[in-house]
Structure 1
Amino acid sequence: MTKTIVGFPRIGAERELKFATEHYWKGKIDAEELLAQAKVIKNDHWQVQKEAGIDLIPVGDFSFFDNFLDVATGFNIVADRYRQLNLSALDEYFAQARGYQKDGKTVKALPMKKWFNTNYHYIVPEFTPTTEVRLVSDRLVKEIEEAQEVGVNAKAVVIGPYTLLKLSRFLDGAQPADFVDDLVAAYVDLLTQVGQTGVEFVQIDEPALTFDVSETDQALFDQLYDQIVAQSGSTKVILQTYFGDIRDVYQDVIQKPFAGIGLDLLEGSENIKLIQEYGFPQDKILFAGVVNGKNVWRNDYTETLDLLNNLPIDGEVVLNTSCSLLHVPYSAKNESQLPKDVYRHLAFAVEKLGELSDLDHIRQGHADDLLTNNKVLFATTKHPVNVAVQDRISGLTEADYHRLPDRQEREKIQQEALNLPLFPTTTIGSFPQTAEVRANRRHYKHHEITKDQYDQFNQEKIAEAIKKQEELGLDVLVHGEYERNDMVEYFGEKLDGFVFTQNGWVQSYGSRAVKPPIIWGDVSRVAPITVAESVFANGLTDKLVKGMLTGPVTIFNWSFPREDIKREGVVTQIALALRDEVLDLEKNGIKIIQIDEPALREKLPLRQSDWNEKYLDWAVPAFRLVHSGVAADTQIHTHMCYSEFSNILTAIDDLDADVISFEASRADFTLIDDLVANHFQTQVGPGVYDIHSPRVPAPSEIKNLIEEVIEKIPSRKVWINPDCGLKTRSESESWASLKNMIEAIQSIREDAYELS
């Protein structure tokens, strides 16, 4: 055994899983057909890994929606409101992920949050005093049997109990310690079941060990694993970590009777120092994460081999990915339109399997030509440089990062200039991307229609959207973003310095996938990006129309940047390009401009003890650089969603936006108390309904949420909006939900709430 991976993308080479699950949700196929298609997808993925020479193939990394939800459901951690729907096990599972509304029954989905420092989202389970943890699923065993039937040497994979407890919600007085014994019993039962299949190894993922681990946390970890591993029988347990290092528990972990320990040696470079200082037990296998599971670039074999050769380890070392390959596209094989100098540097999931094989051959002395060719690749790399961009950055001064006058004064000026009512209503920006909208874009891309025809269709959709928003009674309108494929990819296509894949899809959540652009050279704006659509929409109404941009940090974090460039420099380049766009929007009469930054937190170090790395010290100024040149009566908005923002609220306030909208309803408005506690100064629009669910909230439900907000935040500071953009929803769902939102706020206004 020399090669394995942490996990593999599950969406399929052509996004087969996305289409299968969406067909099931729409009633086009039944559960039997969905399960049959899933079996084919899993088998295809296993065969790809087998053919690539992967010795130990992960089984259990597949999911219909989310692995975190899988493990919670498999251990009977299901809230009563979903059980009371009396659905099949599969539909109950999807109800937790997407919400449910049918036959007079309506239940919100579970909260959804970012998975560590990635753009993947996980579903957050709930523990209450009535939760009864026990193993109730044989899903993992059945998948192992499927794999064995086709000759796969399977490694069972499951998320571990420590991470499950650290990332879940505890309600009504429940505490993690209350569930230790039951979780131990459940995991032991799972290991026993798996052991009966003949599988030798079980990989238990514990990425939460890369957070700061307190003494209390370590005691929790010990309580769990001192019992689980002791009762694992003949099944060999691999403790797998990723996204960082385990400095707080390393000495503890290496003393436990794990058969193997998986360490990220890239993002978790501190793990190398830990091995050098404290050693690594000879009786354990090191699963060395040396092939990057989060980027799309070729591995530098010389660097990787030097790393491995300098590890003071006498025992067995298995080559591994740094994390699951879930976070990269499936394969670069069919990327026929990329420049050759870019393509030769790319390694998606399938190619990374080949890199593990190459490294293994080189280590065994069987393939010197592979090393030579790799050295030539890295020695001949050339990247485009834009001297004008470099000069512009050199000319920046401190004043360029600060907007005048201060926010308090701007608020008064904007209130008079914009004349908005109490509790202004708006949306986050996008409207549904219907089949017709996608077809229009596809026909234009394939040169089947002219630019004029493409634009005419989009203008008709914009006109419809403006008219509908006026009819509903929204106060600040948007043009709907019908011309945009994705909030990052679209901007990348309009900026110099980016290149794009044809099929580089990466799962974001559930059936939702994005296609991140690649940052290859210096970034600059070559022409206006959003001005034409915003100006067209503005000319159709007497109401205010909001310009819509994606912020510089999000564009960077949701792209694949080169590894040899400083991220703060590239983000500053993007910020300058967007600054030009903002000033053009303002010059053309757009008085409200939204600059979205949902990924602001994403690259913040996982450990608060590492926050002295100053990530926010350049990320926040980059955002300010985008908008600091506008007039006082131009109102700047931003939007953030599906992440943990409570401990960076001071930094968010420092963005110096005038209004910020947050995802809030799906997280049960837990952010509101944090805003109050931090004396948050920016006007806020906590989302009042969840757009990642197909259910339509009733006016009374939305009204109750709004009342909860204005009991705690001054009325003059509150905006009313959904949690996020409406791109993924149907038109019927969107318009019905917005109608109910307007009905709710009208009722609030009629109740005569006064400015406080």
Structure 2
Amino acid sequence: MSHQSTPSPAALPSALPIGYPRIGPDRELKKAEEAYWAGRIDRAELDRRTRALRGATRRRLADLGLTAPAAAPESFSLYDQVLDAALAIGAIPDRFAAVLDADGRVDDDGLFALARGTAEQPPLEMTKWFDTNYHYLVPEIGPYTDLHLATSRVIDLFTESLEDGAGTRPVLVGPLTLLLLAKAQDGAPEGFDPLDRLDDAVAVYVELLSRLAAAGAPWVQLDEPALAADQRVDAAALAVLLERSIGRLAAASDRPRLLVTTPYGGIGDLLPSLLATGAEAVHLDLTRGEIPTAAQLAGVAGVQLVAGLVEGRSVWRTELPTAAARLELLRARVAEAGGDPAAVVASTSVSLQHVPHTLEREGSLPAELAATLAFADEKITELIALAGGEVRTGDVDGPRSVPRTFAGVRHEAVRERAAAVTAADAVRTDYARRAEAQQAALGLPALPTTTIGSFPQVGEVRAARAAHRRGELDAAGYERAMREEIARVIALQEELGLDVLVHGEPERNDMVQYFAENLAGFATTEHGWVQSYGSRCTRPSILFGDVHRPAPITVGWATYAQSLTPRPVKGMLTGPVTILAWSFVRDDQPLGETAAQVGLALRDEVADLEAAGIGIVQVDEPALRELLPLRAADHEAYLDWSVRSFRLATSGVREETQIHTHLCYSEFNVVVGAIDALDADVTSIESARSRGEILEAVDPDAFPRGIGPGVWDIHSPRVPSAEEIAEQLRRARGVVRAERLWVNPDCGLKTRGYAETEASLRHLVAAAHAVRAEEPVVSA
């Protein structure tokens, strides 16, 4: 039975996504920003282009059916939503005081300075947004940070939407999540926690809400995803903090109505506290969280529930009959708890910023696969159908997505091989024996220098790849172009004096997509771009079936590079967990089973590289931390299958073959035990952007293998000096045993230019030589 009725004028519309992609279907935001940073366009043109993008987005959402006031989210961000919230309350660290004008405000150039750094200051630290591949900038707050309304961007965007005839819903990261994600500013007293400034931050939010009310906003969305994850304070303390933040905002007399969202998981026993804050609407992620009981919904009277039933993190079509049944069950429980079942709103589980814009432009996907997919626009269409009662009700425990039964989904040989795996297949010999054999084979100096894998992808390389893809450059011409670039990169590394070289990966469009294009069980898109951070976008592949390797993938490129130099060249692979994390993965079997299939496919590639004479193989796992569940109770099961899949990929080699792995922006300290369990011979990690703080997690005795704490933040255009790098190495040497210390950048160099790359690597090599000479270092 449907409970649909006409909502009151003050109520939220019956269907609404809680966020939408902001990069543009053709990556308009990326292109505009990068043109501005390069000096090809001026500020006025940047403003014109971003204004046009926002207008086009509002028109698109209206065309899809989001025409009611506040139905469409105003979730645009010039760089990052967390940075936007931090700037809105003036959370600007002292080292960036120069970005504030005389009135204490910050403009777009100031925003870019914090995000990208300046010649004098490194940028804010960047890390993963909950368990996604989106990266946010970590706010820095001290006890005396002058919290004040430093930008009116959220107000300006709403006013702009009125000019467009849209009347969107302003979206802002909530105060509690903002401070839980923040870190103490350098120089803050020991024991200071950004949460200590909650009352001050909330006072700024009160002012901001008042300004939005004056501008005519009927609703404001405050995102509080921190409630769906374990935090440094317990649930009881969070309940108190909810009253001090959302409760205080709701108590303000001059404000719009409040929608508080809780994406990325269930909030459990915090629901009654949230319902009691006085917020007019509360969103629940019902794809990862459970439908609350009537008892948990006590206090729902007067609160509009926003039911996140359409998964916003995957590209699979929603099994609408199941979603409709779950929606009806929620309405029944709301009625039982004394609430209004007709007021329940259909929504997405999370912001749609995690999926591409639209499936409409994808012309090359297999028809049977495409019929099971939904991108952002298609998910909004699903929401409208669900909210409008157009869907027949199915089984509440039915499948969450449309079943996939077409050819390629199951491959019996793959399943038989995975079933035959034993514990011994994921074990190598003792590290001490391996280290001795590897040093004898490789003869590396103390503090060996290397890079993470990719080198800058110049226009000629991208043009050759595109021409080959279009059929305008034949296979021989393409191979010749790639070999020329590999030869140039090898020669450059030899001239710079690096100890362990890479081939530069010119043939790779993306570190996951390249493998997806060469492994069975995957499909790739033409326009499926998703924002990773700032202007950086990825095109996640679609893992829909059983995975296996039809033929060697990287061996030819690696062996050609090795033929050009006597120095060791690393074979470069992307690990199974990262391939899963940065793809849209099938949801019809446990992730651990899929990861094992990918691990076995990579095991074949590692074996072929070793047989071809490649003595070092790097299997990158930057997403190991990313997929870590948000609740500690779920960690053990995840780490068991994720570590096992990596070891399946890497444990079939001889003792003298050195296995490396790489983790970037991965909060090493959170998963140090799991990283140790990977049993890689050398692990390189992010360290520069967090200014070495990550090293505090390293116990030299508990982590007895090689480690390369990154000494150059490649996500910023600034060139670190040799002395700056040397100082980081000295700090690292105080924590890591010198014989285990490697010297490398934070991440691959694909997004950097050659001028800054050459300058930074010269400084890196010079710093390594200087620190080597300061005291004897005994090789392992």
Q: TM-score range by the shorter chain?
A: over 0.9
Give the aligned residue type for 2:368: D
Partner residue, 2:248: 227
* Greater mean alpha carbon deviation, residues 741-750 or residues 228-237: 228-237
C-alpha spacing 1:510/1:436, structure 2 compared with 1 (3 Å): same
Partner residue, 2:327: 308
Give the aligned residue type for 1:45: T
Partner residue, 2:535: 511
C-alpha spacing 1:160/1:379, structure 2 compared with 1 (3 Å): closer
Give the aligned residue type for 1:140: V
2:523 to 494, 499, 506: 499
Give the aligned residue type for 1:401: A
Q: Does the Cα contact within 8 Å between 1:57 and 1:152 map onto a contact in 2?
A: no
- Per the TM alignment, residue 189 of structure 1 is displaced from its structure 2 partner at its CA by 0.3
Give the aligned residue type for 2:365: L
Give the aligned residue type for 2:350: C
1:334 aligns with 2:361: yes
Partner residue, 2:386: 359
Give the aligned residue type for 1:387: E
Q: Following superposition of structure 1 onto structure 2, how do residues 600-749 of structure 1 map, counting pairs within 5 Å? A: 600-612=624-636, 614-676=637-699, 679-749=702-772
Partner residue, 2:83: 69
The 1-side partners of 2:375 and 2:114 are apart by: 31
1:34 aligns with 2:46: yes
Cα deviation 1:372-424 (Å, max 9, x = unaligned):
xx99x947843522121111112111111111x21122112212221110000
The 1-side partners of 2:387 and 2:249 are apart by: 33
Partner residue, 1:287: 306
C-alpha spacing 1:339/1:561, structure 2 compared with 1 (3 Å): same
Q: Following superposition of structure 1 onto structure 2, how do residues 177-188 of structure 1 map, counting pairs within 5 Å? A: 177-188=195-206
1:319 aligns with 2:346: yes
The 2-side partners of 1:678 and 1:207 are apart by: 36
Give the aligned residue type for 2:182: S
C-alpha spacing 1:380/1:524, structure 2 compared with 1 (3 Å): closer
The 1-side partners of 2:153 and 2:617 are apart by: 48
The 2-side partners of 1:175 and 1:740 are apart by: 36
1:11 aligns with 2:23: yes
Q: Following superposition of structure 1 onto structure 2, how do residues 343-742 of structure 1 map, counting pairs within 5 Å? A: 343-361=370-388, 363=389, 378=402, 381-384=405-408, 385-403=410-428, 405-612=429-636, 614-676=637-699, 679-742=702-765
- Per the TM alignment, residue 180 of structure 1 is displaced from its structure 2 partner at its CA by 2.0
Partner secondary structure for residue 146 of structure 1: helix
C-alpha spacing 1:220/1:313, structure 2 compared with 1 (3 Å): closer
Give the aligned residue type for 2:257: K
Q: Does the Cα contact within 8 Å between 2:577 and 2:621 map onto a contact in 1?
A: yes
Partner secondary structure for residue 617 of structure 2: strand
Partner secondary structure for residue 633 of structure 1: coil
The 2-side partners of 1:246 and 1:644 are apart by: 23
1:298 aligns with 2:317: yes
The 1-side partners of 2:651 and 2:657 are apart by: 11
Partner residue, 2:194: 176
Partner secondary structure for residue 196 of structure 1: helix
1:218 aligns with 2:245: no
1:137 aligns with 2:151: yes
Q: Does the Cα contact within 8 Å between 2:541 and 2:583 map onto a contact in 1?
A: yes
Partner residue, 1:127: 141
Show structure 1 runs of 4+ deviating over 6 A.
85-88, 367-371
Q: Does the Cα contact within 8 Å between 1:491 and 1:529 map onto a contact in 2?
A: yes
The 2-side partners of 1:729 and 1:4 are apart by: 39
Partner residue, 2:225: 207
The 1-side partners of 2:28 and 2:360 are apart by: 17
2:164 to 130, 150, 154: 150
The 2-side partners of 1:225 and 1:328 are apart by: 29
Q: Does the Cα contact within 8 Å between 1:76 and 1:136 map onto a contact in 2?
A: yes
The 2-side partners of 1:393 and 1:606 are apart by: 28
Q: Following superposition of structure 1 onto structure 2, how do residues 267-286 of structure 1 map, counting pairs within 5 Å? A: 267-269=288-290, 272-275=291-294, 277-279=296-298, 281-286=300-305
Give the aligned residue type for 1:591: G
Percent of paired sites with the same residue: 43
Cα deviation 1:158-188 (Å, max 9, x = unaligned):
1011011100111322422431221121000
Q: Does the Cα contact within 8 Å between 2:325 and 2:394 map onto a contact in 1?
A: no
Could you tell me the TM-score, scaled by structure 2's length? Answer: 0.92
The 2-side partners of 1:491 and 1:51 are apart by: 37
Partner residue, 1:51: 63
1:750 aligns with 2:773: yes
* Greater mean alpha carbon deviation, residues 708-717 or residues 76-85: 76-85
Could you tell me the TM-score, scaled by structure 1's length? Answer: 0.95
The 2-side partners of 1:673 and 1:450 are apart by: 51
Cα deviation 1:446-500 (Å, max 9, x = unaligned):
0111111111111111111111101111000000000000000000100011111
Q: Does the Cα contact within 8 Å between 1:661 and 1:685 map onto a contact in 2?
A: yes
Q: Does the Cα contact within 8 Å between 1:291 and 1:322 map onto a contact in 2?
A: yes
* Greater mean alpha carbon deviation, residues 666-675 or residues 482-491: 666-675
Unaligned runs of 5+ in 2: 1-12
Q: Does the Cα contact within 8 Å between 1:691 and 1:725 map onto a contact in 2?
A: yes
Give the aligned residue type for 2:603: R
The 2-side partners of 1:236 and 1:735 are apart by: 54
Give the aligned residue type for 2:421: L
The 1-side partners of 2:393 and 2:677 are apart by: 53
Give the aligned residue type for 2:239: Q
The 2-side partners of 1:532 and 1:666 are apart by: 35
Partner residue, 2:216: 198
C-alpha spacing 1:380/1:597, structure 2 compared with 1 (3 Å): closer
Give the aligned residue type for 1:290: L
Partner residue, 1:240: 261
Give the aligned residue type for 1:47: R
Partner secondary structure for residue 361 of structure 2: coil
* Greater mean alpha carbon deviation, residues 629-638 or residues 567-576: 567-576
CA RMSD of superposed structures (Å): 2.0
Q: Does the Cα contact within 8 Å between 1:290 and 1:321 map onto a contact in 2?
A: yes
Cα deviation 1:174-216 (Å, max 9, x = unaligned):
4224312211210000100000122111111000011125133
C-alpha spacing 1:617/1:232, structure 2 compared with 1 (3 Å): farther
The 1-side partners of 2:438 and 2:180 are apart by: 43
1:98 aligns with 2:112: no
C-alpha spacing 1:370/1:21, structure 2 compared with 1 (3 Å): farther
The 2-side partners of 1:61 and 1:198 are apart by: 17
- Per the TM alignment, residue 146 of structure 1 is displaced from its structure 2 partner at its CA by 0.9
C-alpha spacing 1:673/1:369, structure 2 compared with 1 (3 Å): closer
The 2-side partners of 1:145 and 1:636 are apart by: 55
Q: Does the Cα contact within 8 Å between 2:322 and 2:394 map onto a contact in 1?
A: no
Partner residue, 2:276: 255
Give the aligned residue type for 2:703: F
C-alpha spacing 1:164/1:85, structure 2 compared with 1 (3 Å): closer
- Per the TM alignment, residue 123 of structure 1 is displaced from its structure 2 partner at its CA by 0.5
Q: Does the Cα contact within 8 Å between 2:247 and 2:279 map onto a contact in 1?
A: no
The 2-side partners of 1:630 and 1:420 are apart by: 20
Give the aligned residue type for 1:24: Y
Partner secondary structure for residue 16 of structure 2: coil
Partner secondary structure for residue 455 of structure 1: helix
- Per the TM alignment, residue 233 of structure 1 is displaced from its structure 2 partner at its CA by 2.9
